[in-house]
C-alpha cells in the first residue's frame, strides 16, 4: 500500500499507518520500534513526517475534549481536527484565539510545526498550548506544562521528542467576526502603509499573484473590538461586491462567509470551510517568516523577480504573527511577517523559482515554515534558531536512541 501526504508530493517510506487504540498500546509500539514517527492529517508538504520505520497516527485514541471552565482550557486528543474541536468549543461558549487558513488539520500536527493564522497580537497555534502529554523515545508517558523549563522547547517539536497523545489549549470566550474582502490594493500601499493595513483588524491577509498589479485581495477579519469601519474604498482598494476565493479562478463556495456577515470565530478565521477542499487541492506550498519590520523591504526585494514567480504560482499570501518564546517556532523572539506561496503542483518547475525567492529574502534572515517546501542551506536554517542547541539537548534526553530522527531532521536540526 502507498501512503502519501495530502498534496501527494511525498510518498512515505512506511507502507501503512498504525493506529493504536490506547496509550498503552502506543507506548509498547514506540518502545518496540527502532524508528517511528507520528503522522497527523498529512497536510505538510515535505518529508518532515517521514520515517524509515513505523508511521503512527493517534487518531485511533479515544477522542477527548475536556473543557475546564474555571481554568479556561480544553484537553484534547492530538489527532483532533481543529474544525471538529471548534464546534464543540463554540457550543460551550469558548473559542481558540486563532486558527490557520484551513480547519482540516490535526491539533497535534499543526502545533508541532508552529502553524499560524494572521494578526498582530496573535501568536501561532502552538502559543495556545498550555500542556502536552507525550510518549517519549523511552516509551515513557511525560506531561510538560508551562511550569516546566523544558516546555518552550517542546511546544513546537517537529515530531522529534515523542508521540503527543493529548494537548491542553488555552481558551477565550467565544466571539464573532465579520469578514470583508477588498480588491486591488496598490503596491504603493503595501510599501507605504503596511502596518496600517495589516493592523486594521483582528486578522488581516494580503493575497497577491505577483502579476505586477500589487495586492489582488485583502481579507479583513474584524471583531467588534477593533473598530474596523469597512469603508467602500480603503488605501486605494475597493470593497468586494460578492464573495471571493483567494485564487481568482476558483469558486468562493469553498470559502468562509464574507461581505461583513457576522458569524462565529471558527466560521470566519479559516479561509476555507471544513466541508470543502481547502486551497486548490493540487499544489505545493512554501512560506518564509521574517522580522515584521522588514515586510516592505522584503516585498520590494521580490518585486523584481515577480515575472519569474507568477508563471508557477497559484497565489501568494502575506500575514503577520506575534513573537513568542518557543524555541523552534518560526516567530521565536520576533514579531513576524510571513510570505507564503501556493505553487503549481510541479516541483521541477517550482525549484528554481523557489531558490530565487529564497535568495531575494536571504538578507531578512528568513525562517522557512517547517511543514512546507524549502531549499535553504541547512546551516542558514540552523543559524536562524538561537535555541536550537538547547532543543537538541532536550531531544537527546527524551529520545536517547534517536527513534524519532529521520533524514529531514538530521539535515536541518543535526
Ligand X SMILES: Cc1cc2nc3c(=O)[nH]c(=O)nc-3n(C[C@H](O)[C@H](O)[C@H](O)COP(=O)(O)OP(=O)(O)OC[C@H]3O[C@@H](n4cnc5c(N)ncnc54)[C@H](O)[C@@H]3O)c2cc1C
Kindly list the residues in this chain that would bind ligand X in the complex (CB under 6 A). 6, 37-44, 48-49, 58, 78, 100-102, 105-106, 108-110, 112-113, 115-116, 158-159, 163-164, 278-279, 285, 369, 371
Q: How far is the CB of 179 from ligand X (least distance, A)?
A: 15
Quick one: three-class SS letters along 307-371? HHHHHHEEEEEEEEECCECCCCCCCECCCEEEEEEEECCCHHHHHHHHHHHHHHHHHHCCEECCC
Sign of CA dihedral 187, 271, 280, 347: positive
**Residue 365, burial from CB neighbour count under 10 angstroms (0-12, 13-18, 19+):** middle
Closest CB to ligand X among 235 and 340?
A: 340
DSSP structural state of residue 19: -
Q: How far is the CB of 278 from ligand X (least distance, A)?
A: 4
Sign of CA dihedral 375, 379, 380, 382: positive
Q: How far is the CB of 111 from ligand X (least distance, A)?
A: 8
CA-wise closest residue to 50 among 356, 408, 373: 408
Pairing of strands 237-239, 176-185: antiparallel
Closest CB to ligand X among 103 and 214?
A: 103
| Strand (E) or helix (H) holding 134 | strand 129-135
CA-wise closest residue to 165 among 94, 112, 123: 112
Q: How far is the CB of 239 from ligand X (least distance, A)?
A: 24
Closest CB to ligand X among 165 and 294?
A: 165
Q: How far is the CB of 269 from ligand X (least distance, A)?
A: 10
Q: How far is the CB of 231 from ligand X (least distance, A)?
A: 27
Closest CB to ligand X among 100 and 291?
A: 100
Q: Which residue is nearest to ligand X (CB)?
A: 109
Closest CB to ligand X among 116 and 405?
A: 116
Closest CB to ligand X among 76 and 309?
A: 76
Q: How far is the CB of 142 from ligand X (least distance, A)?
A: 12
**Rg over CA atoms, the chain:** 20
Q: How far is the CB of 109 from ligand X (least distance, A)?
A: 2
Cα–Cα distance, 111 to 127 (Å, whole number): 8
What are the E-state strand segments in 147-260? 163-170, 172-173, 176-185, 203-208, 215-222, 233-234, 237-239
Q: How far is the CB of 260 from ligand X (least distance, A)?
A: 22
Closest CB to ligand X among 110 and 200?
A: 110
Closest CB to ligand X among 158 and 394?
A: 158
262-294 exposure pattern, b = at least 16 Cβ within 10 A, e = fewer = eebbbbbbbbbbbeeebbbeebbbbbbbbbbeb
Closest CB to ligand X among 6 and 234?
A: 6
- What are 173's strand-pairing partners? 94
Amino acid at each position: 500500500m502507498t501512503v502519501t501526504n495530502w498534496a501527494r508530493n511525498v510518498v512515505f517510506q512506511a507502507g501503512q499507518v498504525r493506529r493504536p487504540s490506547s496509550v498503552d498500546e502506543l507506548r509498547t509500539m514506540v518502545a518496540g520500534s527502532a524508528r517511528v514517527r507520528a503522522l497527523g492529517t498529512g497536510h505538510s508538504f515535505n518529508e518532515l513526517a517521514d520515517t524509515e520505520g513505523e508511521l503512527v497516527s493517534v487518531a485511533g485514541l479515544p477522542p477527548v475534549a475536556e473543557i475546564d471552565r474555571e481554568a479556561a482550557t480544553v484537553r484534547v486528543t492530538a489527532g483532533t481536527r481543529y474544525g471538529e474541536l471548534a464546534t464543540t468549543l463554540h457550543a460551550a461558549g469558548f473559542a481558540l484565539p486563532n486558527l490557520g487558513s484551513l480547519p482540516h488539520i490535526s491539533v497535534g500536527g499543526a502545533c508541532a510545526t508552529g502553524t499560524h493564522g494572521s494578526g498582530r497580537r496573535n501568536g501561532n497555534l502552538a502559543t495556545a498550548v498550555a500542556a502536552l502529554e507525550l510518549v517519549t523515545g523511552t516509551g515513557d508517558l511525560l506531561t510538560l506544562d508551562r511550569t516546566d523549563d523544558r516546555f518552550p522547547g517542546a511546544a513546537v517539536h517537529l515530531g522529534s521528542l515523542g508521540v503527543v497523545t493529548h494537548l491542553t489549549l488555552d481558551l477565550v470566550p467565544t466571539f464573532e467576526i465579520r469578514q470583508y474582502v477588498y480588491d486591488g490594493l496598490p503596491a504603493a500601499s503595501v510599501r507605504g502603509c503596511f502596518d496600517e493595513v495589516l493592523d486594521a483588524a483582528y486578522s488581516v491577509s494580503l493575497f497577491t499573484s505577483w502579476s505586477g498589479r500589487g495586492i489582488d485581495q485583502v481579507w479583513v477579519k474584524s471583531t467588534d473590538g477593533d473598530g474596523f469601519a469597512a469603508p467602500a474604498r480603503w488605501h486605494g482598494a475597493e470593497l468586494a461586491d460578492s464573495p471571493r476565493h483567494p485564487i481568482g479562478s476558483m469558486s468562493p463556495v469553498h470559502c468562509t462567509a464574507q461581505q461583513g456577515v457576522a458569524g462565529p470565530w471558527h466560521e470566519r478565521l479559516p479561509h476555507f470551510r471544513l466541508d470543502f477542499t481547502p486551497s486548490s487541492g493540487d499544489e505545493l506550498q512554501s512560506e518564509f517568516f521574517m522580522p515584521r519590520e522588514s515586510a516592505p523591504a522584503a516585498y520590494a526585494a521580490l518585486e523584481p523577480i515577480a515575472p519569474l514567480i507568477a508563471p508557477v504560482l497559484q497565489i501568494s499570501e502575506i500575514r503577520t504573527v506575534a513573537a513568542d518564546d518557543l524555541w523552534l517556532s518560526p516567530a521565536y523572539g520576533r514579531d513576524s511577517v510571513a510570505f507564503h506561496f501556493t505553487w503549481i503542483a510541479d516541483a521541477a518547475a517550482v525549484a528554481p523559482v523557489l531558490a530565487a525567492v529564497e535568495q531575494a529574502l536571504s538578507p531578512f534572515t528568513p525562517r522557512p515554515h517547517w511543514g512546507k517546501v524549502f531549499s535553504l542551506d541547512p546551516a542558514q536554517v540552523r543559524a536562524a534558531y538561537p535555541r536550537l542547541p538547547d532543543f537538541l539537548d532536550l531531544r537527546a534526553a527524551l529520545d536517547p536512541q534517536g527513534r524519532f530522527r529521520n533524514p529531514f531532521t538530521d539535515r536541518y536540526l543535526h
